[in-house]
A and B are shown apart, each in its own frame.
Chain A
């Protein structure tokens, strides 16, 4: 502030005081070289300098004045959402205090608060509360470190967080994450702005625009995309094409058919993939024709030993003709795979699943999957059907391919891998999904269940929750250490319904170590279950705190 005081009126001296600049110069050079104004040279000169400087310093400080104001910031838009209940505000502060990097080591019985933040945010957003302004910096810092938190944090933090992010480079991510850098995208009522943004915008802005338009009105998004399609760069064409996944419809077919002739192989492959997800498209029909030509039912019984039961026989394509290639089949097999089975897999994956029922005399998916397959083609064929069921989001086929959760091969390396099972599960409705995974855990235990649990809806449905707790209890009795199950424990803390706490209560006591158990395992299990129950209680308290006042 002292910089503004030199011309302050208060520095008009009443007694002759040397100018400050002169004192500074003298001080720098030394009184041996330069005598301070108004002093005698020699022994007392430094004292005279210090005396004068002391008077001037106090005078300067006493005369400080405000400076001229800089430009005022544009005020943030008011947030009209209701404020958080006070208890929820306190909880949020506590959750945000728990930063990773402090503490560390074994987790002990205390809950991991940072892991509860996603649920807290989801609830707060569901109620539509406004974030308390003073928590915004901590929220933005948390989202900066954890990309998975960003969408929920930015929704909760609202417009004021973007206002704040414009002032602090550390929070730039918030502007990038918000479509159009925080500015609202033009709507359908502003065709001119849409056209301008599409033609002049940055790549990310154009993708955001296209995605937003696709959600609102698939046709106009397609129209905008077609208008410049021919002049876009290949990698941009690929990204733009990808936006068509949202709201894919029959009307997209001509555009996608045209893209099958694209210069870029990746664009061609994506166009083919999208077309194959439209069961009535010409491409899907062509693929069905090709695929069904390769697979037949042999009733003669020659392929299956003695029984005479119908058996599926496979005759993989002998060549990848230009027509197949044009429809997105990649001719070159990856290392270690036979060319013919590679081509077959792609044909079956892209063929509409409805075609198989017709091909196999009206059999249901279950009946088709149950048919024996000759000559070791089962893995290839079932794998391709799985990919098709996921791509076409067909629950009937998914159910058939998943089979019974208690089947012996469901837990082991059967025809369908766990990763594929997880994807198939995702096409089923939540309750059915939970039921299947519960059955799987009851038979096969937890060691293989992690991936499958990840696709289940939160909080876990009661049968699933019970299955997990029972399996943990069995694992404890088996005498191993709990950290073999830390992944599932962590999931349970986040996903188990707090209502299950009562059932967990007996498990929190420290049991006597059994003869054959790992040393001290019982204590660690008790600690793990304590953390689980504590976390569940906390989650229940959290959601009670967030309930709007007045509501029950």
Chain B
């Protein structure tokens, strides 16, 4: 299933940690001292006994090569997932060949693995049965979908009314109306089962307080919201691709229906955004054979890390299926055939001008798109007053960085990596600027001919 000797880097392991405290605790356990009988098998299993404060050591086992991502089991009482023992053991495994030697898994680890495989097999059977069940009553499903569509239509109509009222009185008055008006409207959209509308409305509420130029931003976002309402209300007249995009923007997620694409997928970036309810994880993949870029989304309840985690800079073979909608990059991860391993493949890069054009073209399929993933080649990060730029090394043109990118520590890793010389940067390019997510140094002449190290910036 996997190959002996492919071990992750410390960064890749640390990316699995649910929070900073776990990272710290795990790092401390990444030493041979507390561990005994640690080992790893050809099937991608890592196990070990960790001396804790009690008399009985904790039993820790990790299935690195599982097709749905690393799976963990530890006898410690921690509710964090993965716990510090799993992280510590993986770090030890990543860093020290002698401390975690190849071997035969002990019985307690074998039992867990066997249990998992059985359950996985059952799950597959059950899913097959479940999909059979839905198709058994298509009429009921159709009626449910119709009822929801009616509610959304009512919600969109109401939202249109509110926008009309707002523009009749003018945005200047909106500054006084404050947040409450938008919160209430957002709650109405939640009731209407249109989460996409609700979150857009909620964002409008913050705009009057967002500094100079807020009327322009508010007008733009109101106009796009109006466009989305109109798109929904007239979805029957839209071409199928655009209609699917409208449905997904409204919040009708649908399910991936594209043909599964089997490829060697390189993880370009992984980052989380969180609000009070939900942690959203975005993972950008690059198909090294197909040249496709795909976005995986996974979610965790507030304060918990989403379960799917892929180490940046590693590639694995898997099937990926696209979600419906014209120009959609979102995809679902299907079966995984290999464990992530280092790859020297890099996405081909383009210039800042081409990147801006790429975003503009993508708007044709999805006018609500804020940014588009691109890899820039030969750009130099540079300060520009209070702001920052990525300068095309071969012209006098540059892309400004987004304000969120300016305040992240990754900016300084990017600067340090570049040192004033051109680098390759993957990120999201949009109307607010460019957000760098990953960078590769230019090849160092004195480094033993290796390709530039992948440096995560988020």
Contact = CB atoms under 8 A, between A and B. Distances in A.
Contacts of B27: 94, 97-98, 113
Contact of B219 (A23, A58, A69): A23
B5 to A, nearest CB: 14
Interface stretch (B166-174, B192-200, B295-303): B166-174
Contact of B383 (A32, A70, A111, A136): A70
B73 interface: no
Interface in A127-155: 132-137
A382 interface: no
B396 A132 contact: no
B168 A70 contact: no
A50 B363 contact: no
Q: Which of B91, B226, B441 has the most CB of A within 10 A?
A: B226
A1 B431 contact: yes
Interface in A8-35: 23-24, 27-33
B413 A50 contact: no
A311 interface: no
A1 B219 contact: no
Contacts of B327: none
A67 B400 contact: yes
A31 B169 CA distance: 7
Q: Quick one: which of A66, A110, A136 has the most chain B CB within 10 A?
A: A66
A414 to B, nearest CB: 41
Nearest to B160: A47
Contacts of B227: 54, 58
Interface stretch (A207-215, A365-373, A532-540): A532-540
Interface string A57-72: 1101111111111111
B431 A99 contact: no
B183 to A, nearest CB: 22
Contact of B24 (A46, A73, A103, A534): A103
Contacts, number: 238
A52 B385 CA distance: 34
Given A31-B167, A83-B446, A133-B441, A70 B433 contact: no
Contact of B21 (A29, A102, A533): A102
Contact of B415 (A33, A72, A164): A164
Interface in B30-78: 30-34, 51, 53, 55
Contacts of B30: 94
Interface in B349-407: 352-353, 356, 359-361, 363-364, 367, 380, 382-385, 389, 391-392, 395-400
A90 B94 contact: yes
B96 interface: yes
Contact of A163 (B55, B169, B223, B420): B420
Most chain A CB atoms below 10 A, which of B91, B359, B431: B431
Interface residues of B, number: 88
Interface stretch (B7-15, B116-124, B149-157, B317-325): B7-15
A76 B398 CA distance: 20
B219 A27 contact: yes
Determine which residue in A31, A64, A102 has the highest number of CB atoms from chain B within 10 A of its CB, and name it: A64
B389 A69 contact: yes
Interface in A446-493: none
Interface string A103-123: 100001111010000000000
A163 B419 contact: yes
Contacts of B392: 66, 69
A28 B215 contact: yes
Contacts of B356: 1, 64-66
Contacts of A113: 27-28
A58 to B, nearest CB: 5
Contacts of B235: none
Contact of A137 (B359, B361, B413, B433): B413
Contact of B222 (A29, A50, A163): A50
Contact of A103 (B21, B216, B220, B412): B21
Contacts of B399: 1, 66-67
Nearest to B95: A90
A: interface residue count bin:
35 or more
Contacts of A64: 356, 359-360, 431
B453 interface: yes
A530 interface: yes
A349 interface: no
A64 B356 CA distance: 6
A136 B412 CA distance: 8
B181 interface: no
Given A70-B389, A90-B9, A54 B14 contact: no
B34 A109 contact: yes
Interface in A434-452: none
Contacts of B1: none
A552 interface: no
B453 A132 contact: yes
B456 to A, nearest CB: 9
A362 interface: no
Contacts of A50: 163-164, 167, 222-223, 226
A27 B171 contact: yes
Nearest to A532: B33
B409 interface: yes
A91 B163 contact: no
Interface in A527-548: 527, 530, 533-534, 537-538, 541
Q: Which of A2, A132, A134, A533 has the most CB of B within 10 A?
A: A134
B419 A137 contact: no
B32 A537 contact: yes
Contact of A30 (B25, B28, B170, B360): B170
A167 interface: yes
Contacts of B224: 54, 57-58
A510 B53 CA distance: 10
A23 to B, nearest CB: 7
B140 interface: no
A31 B220 CA distance: 16
A184 B31 CA distance: 41
A160 B392 CA distance: 22
Nearest to A71: B382
A425 interface: no
Contacts of A47: 160, 164, 226
B168 to A, nearest CB: 5
B52 to A, nearest CB: 8
A164 B31 contact: no
Contacts of B382: 69-73
Contacts of A160: 416, 419
A108 B24 contact: no
A134 B416 contact: yes
B50 to A, nearest CB: 10
B223 A134 contact: no
A28 B213 CA distance: 12
B431 A54 contact: no
Contacts of A60: 220, 431
A1 B400 contact: yes
A72 B418 CA distance: 12
Given A99-B24, A132-B453, A133-B441, A74 B446 contact: no
A30 B220 contact: no
Interface string B235-260: 00000000000000000000000000
Contact of B170 (A28, A83, A91): A28
A386 interface: no
Contacts of A103: 21, 24-25
8 contacts: A47-B226, A67-B399, A102-B21, A113-B28, A133-B419, A137-B409, A527-B53, A541-B31
Interface of A: 1-2, 23-24, 27-33, 45-47, 49-51, 53-54, 56-58, 60-76, 80, 82-83, 87, 90-91, 93-94, 97-99, 102-103, 108-111, 113, 132-137, 160, 163-164, 167-168, 510, 523, 527, 530, 533-534, 537-538, 541
Given A30-B168, A30-B169, A160-B419, 11 more contacts: A66-B398, A70-B382, A71-B382, A82-B446, A87-B96, A93-B14, A134-B455, A137-B409, A137-B413, A530-B33, A537-B33
